[in-house]
């Protein structure tokens, strides 16, 4: 798992990792910087609860719950 975390840390764009339950176990430094959040406030949280529920967007829910299980990743939402 260290190799995965190290790889996430090298990505220049803001990156958020979600588990199968749509909780956020990991993000890179650029994610925290871009969205102005702290790891302690986001790690383990349901994506829809992040940022006072700013991520609770019907279109995003559709992509994550319907599209993502079939495609494995999502970019540029």
Average pLDDT over residues 54-73: 83
Give pLDDT, residue 25.
93
Joined tokens for residue 74:
């999502």
pLDDT band at 74 (very low <50, low <70, confident <90, very high): low
Taking alpha carbons only, the member of 33, 38, 1, 41 closest to residue 14 is 33
Please report where in the chains the tokens 């790690």 appear, as a residue. 43
Q: What is the pTM of this model?
A: 0.75
User: pLDDT digits over 7-58, tens only?
Assistant: 777 888 999 988 989 999 999 999 999 999 999 999 999 999 998 899 999 9
* Residue 3 DSSP label: H
Question: How far, CA to CA in Å, does 41 sit from each of 4, 7, 48, 72, 77?
Answer: 21, 22, 13, 26, 22
Please report where in the chains the tokens 């990743």 appear, as a residue. 73
Give pLDDT, residue 10.
82
């Amino acid at each position: 798992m260290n190799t995965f975390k190290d790889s996430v840390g090298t990505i220049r764009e803001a990156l958020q990792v979600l588990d199968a339950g749509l909780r956020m176990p990991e993000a890179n430094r650029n994610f925290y910087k871009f969205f102005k959040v702290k790891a302690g406030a986001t790690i383990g949280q349901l994506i829809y609860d992040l940022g006072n529920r700013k991520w609770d967007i019907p279109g995003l829910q559709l992509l994550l719950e319907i599209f993502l299980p079939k495609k494995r990743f999502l970019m540029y939402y």
